[in-house]
């Protein structure tokens, strides 16, 4: 018994974590189909102690599939997610292809699990930096109301894929050896210029938009409003890439509706919040850090402070493994919700 599951992008940084998470969660799998773009097809990956061949994803690959987890880039999802749906599969899409489509629920189960019920075949998994922020902010919104969010991110290179990780390792080595190097991947593979990431901080993630924000910043802004069902929430973002392999960090400033909320109250609230681990004991130097969040499914929150001027303003530091809660784990969680809600035939 179980489901026929397809993973599209099985050889990628997120695809690998999807397989790992499906295994770890003991997801009921009756049949597994591993797919990728033509480029990576033919390779094999290990799952539950067995070698599996990865095939090129084609429309007919989805025949008989119940749940398809897509993470092979937006163009692959654009082309093949509708084909999978046509053949009866429910698609959980980890790309930005359908996130802002009004017919597609954009889901973080701790925040808006019920939205899954409105799906018409595709459910979108939000951007990694959005997921960890809304998971921490939703309990605050529910309890105290939320009026404003200003976030600055410190994002890991694995968010840009395996080639970006390799580039950072090679550059670091080259710099330590005193060798020359030529950046070719970051900040954005398809943009005109490339910059050093090793020992640097790059204030560009994805392409610039006409309003001066990058696409990553606009994703955080638009997705947050959609997931939290707050179209008029004030949200602003600055996204920066750091030489960290995995684990996105965020400095988040919020304003709440209710007056006289204390730091203690926020801490107790987040201590109980699903999927959130509070790490906030400044006098013992306890706070979240990406190096210690890697491999863990939770969203870690610390450094909670009241703003010194704005009575309803608070600052916090939010860290999570961008490949897990930010991608693979949230996708598998959506699949688990689909099963729990009886939505998979």
Please give the positions annotated as active site. Answer: 128, 248
Stretch near ligand 11C under the rule CB under 6 A, chosen from 90-98, 101-109, 132-140, 250-258 = 90-98
Q: How far is the CB of 223 from ligand 11C (least distance, A)?
A: 9
Q: Which of 5, 72, 128, 332 binds ligand 11C (CB under 6 A)?
A: 128
SS3 letters for the chain? CCEEEEEECCCCHHHHHHHHHHHHCCCCEEEEEEEECHHHCCCEEEECCEEEECEECCHHHHCCCCEEEECCCHHHHHHHHHHHHHCCCEEEECCCCCCCCCCCCECCHHHHHHHHHHCCCEEECCCHHHHHHHHHHHHHHHHHCEEEEEEEEEECHHHHCHHHHHHHHHHHHHHHHCCCCCCCCCCCCCCCCCCCCCCCCECCCCCECCCCCEHHHHHHHHHHHHHCCCCCCEEEEEEEECCCCCCEEEEEEEEECCCCCCHHHHHHHHHHCCCEEECCEHHHCECCCHHHHCCCCCEEEEEEEECCCCCCEEEEEEEECCCHHHHHHHHHHHHHHHHHCCCCC
Stretch near ligand 11C under the rule CB under 6 A, chosen from 88-96, 104-112, 262-270, 275-283 = 88-96
Does 124 participate in binding ligand 11C (rule CB under 6 A)? no
Quick one: 36 or 312, whose CB is closer to ligand 11C? 36
Does 204 participate in binding ligand 11C (rule CB under 6 A)? no
| Pair 234, 144: CB distance under 8 Å | no
Does 159 participate in binding ligand 11C (rule CB under 6 A)? yes
Query: Per-residue string for binding with ligand 11C, 39-68, x by CB under 6 A?
Result: ------------------------------
Q: Which of 36, 61, 129, 312 binds ligand 11C (CB under 6 A)?
A: 129
Does 202 participate in binding ligand 11C (rule CB under 6 A)? no
Does 155 participate in binding ligand 11C (rule CB under 6 A)? yes
Q: Which of 97, 205, 252, 294 binds ligand 11C (CB under 6 A)?
A: 205
Single out the residue of 147, 175, 114 nearest to residue 343, CA to CA. 114
Quick one: 304 or 334, whose CB is closer to ligand 11C? 334
Q: Which of 66, 93, 110, 216 binds ligand 11C (CB under 6 A)?
A: 216
Q: How far is the CB of 272 from ligand 11C (least distance, A)?
A: 28
Does 160 participate in binding ligand 11C (rule CB under 6 A)? yes
Stretch near ligand 11C under the rule CB under 6 A, chosen from 58-66, 91-99, 171-179, 268-276 = 91-99
Does 96 participate in binding ligand 11C (rule CB under 6 A)? yes
Does 93 participate in binding ligand 11C (rule CB under 6 A)? no
Q: Which residues bind ligand 11C (CB under 6 A)?
A: 94-96, 127-129, 155, 159-160, 205, 216, 219, 322
């Amino acid at each position: 018994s179980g489901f026929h599951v397809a993973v599209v992008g099985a050889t990628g940084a997120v695809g690998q974590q999807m397989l790992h998470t499906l295994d770890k969660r003991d997801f009921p799998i009756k049949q597994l189909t591993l797919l990728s773009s033509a480029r990576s097809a033919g390779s094999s990956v290990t799952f539950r102690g067995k070698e599996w061949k990865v095939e090129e994803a084609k429309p007919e690959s989805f025949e008989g599939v119940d749940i398809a987890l897509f993470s092979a880039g937006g163009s692959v999802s654009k082309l093949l997610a509708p084909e999978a749906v046509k053949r009866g599969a429910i698609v959980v899409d980890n790309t930005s292809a359908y996130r802002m489509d009004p017919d597609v629920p954009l889901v973080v189960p701790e925040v808006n699990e019920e939205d899954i019920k409105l799906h018409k075949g595709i459910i979108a998994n939000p951007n990694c930096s959005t997921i960890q922020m809304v998971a921490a902010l939703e309990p605050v919104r529910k309890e105290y109301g939320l009026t404003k969010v200003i976030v600055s991110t410190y994002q890991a290179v694995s968010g840009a894929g395996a080639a970006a990780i390799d580039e950072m390792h090679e550059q670091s080595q080259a710099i330590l050896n005193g060798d020359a190097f030529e950046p070719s991947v970051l900040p954005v593979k398809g943009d005109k210029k490339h910059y050093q990431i090793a020992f640097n901080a790059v204030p560009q993630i994805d392409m610039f938009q006409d309003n001066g924000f990058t696409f990553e910043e606009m994703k955080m802004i638009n997705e947050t409003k959609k997931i939290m069902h707050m179209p008029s929430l004030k949200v602003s973002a600055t996204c920066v890439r750091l030489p960290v392999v995995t684990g996105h960090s965020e400095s988040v400033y919020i304003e709440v509706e209710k007056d006289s909320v204390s730091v203690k109250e926020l801490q107790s609230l987040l201590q109980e919040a699903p999927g959130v681990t509070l790490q906030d004991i400044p006098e013992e130097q306890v706070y979240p850090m990406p190096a210690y969040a890697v491999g863990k499914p939770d969203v870690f929150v610390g450094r909670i402070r009241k703003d010194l001027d704005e009575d309803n303003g608070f600052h916090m530091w939010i860290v999570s493994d961008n490949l897990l809660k930010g991608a693979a784990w949230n996708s598998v969680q959506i699949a688990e919700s689909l099963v729990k809600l009886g939505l998979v035939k």
